[in-house]
């Protein structure tokens, strides 16, 4: 079983912000599998599906970004799954807008949501799929930027990036190695 978690903020006002790229991508995973987020458990909205006969849990934490780790820890415990079967999708200010990068492990970088996940589950050894949001033309504090709405002229770029991130998560959940997924989707 894999658990795919898309990080974001649950309120409507955050729906189209940069910080909700993980939520959007998790929604794309659910759409591709034909399932809906019908359950509320472990401080998250949860959808269940099967990929190549294996159960997959798709989650959007309701804890807000900076406390995302609480929901992730609860999901791992409830479904008796370890971090090696966890895939976290999130926005990343440290990589160019519209790019997708997969990593098998690593630090949180500048991302508070990932700091929370790592602190709560006690390891950096889980797959992360990052959707790049950095725009060199924008010069505002990072906290203001990540909570701002995606500009209309960039909307299609981010829709495409979230769809690629979702496809990458499904590729890994379907049995491909993280390394093969990196070769296919990074860039």
Band (pLDDT 50/70/90 cuts) for residue 136 is: confident
| DSSP structure class, residue 140 | S
Domain ranges of the chain: 2-185
CATH superfamily of 2-185: Peptidyl-tRNA hydrolase (3.40.50.1470)
Question: Tokens at residue 103, please?
Answer: 């990593």
Return the DSSP state at 141.
-
pLDDT attached to residue 38: 92
47-88 pLDDT tens trace:
999 999 999 999 999 999 999 999 999 999 999 999 999 999
Instruction: Report the distance separating Cα 55 and Cα 58, nearest Å.
Output: 10
| Positions marked catalytic | 19
Q: What is the pLDDT of residue 137?
A: 86
pTM for the structure as a whole: 0.96
Q: Give the per-residue pLDDT at 110.
A: 85
């Amino acid at each position: 079983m894999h658990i795919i978690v898309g990080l974001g903020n649950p309120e409507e006002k955050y729906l189209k912000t940069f910080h909700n790229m993980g939520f959007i991508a998790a929604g794309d995973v659910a759409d591709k599998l034909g399932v809906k987020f019908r359950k509320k458990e472990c401080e998250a909205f949860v959808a269940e599906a099967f990929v190549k006969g294996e159960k997959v849990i798709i989650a959007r934490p309701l804890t807000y970004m900076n406390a995302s780790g609480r929901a992730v820890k609860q999901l791992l415990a409830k479904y008796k799954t370890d971090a090696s079967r966890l895939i976290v999708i999130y926005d990343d200010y440290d990589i160019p807008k519209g790019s997708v990068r997969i990593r098998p492990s690593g630090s949180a970088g500048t991302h508070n949501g990932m700091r929370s996940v790592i602190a709560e589950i006690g390891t950096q050894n889980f797959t992360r799929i990052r959707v790049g949001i950095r725009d060199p033309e924008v010069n505002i504090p990072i906290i203001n930027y990540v909570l701002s709405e995606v500009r209309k002229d960039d909307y299609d770029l981010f829709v495409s990036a979230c769809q690629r991130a979702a496809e990458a998560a499904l590729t890994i959940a379907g049995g491909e190695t993280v390394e093969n997924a990196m070769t296919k989707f990074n860039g």
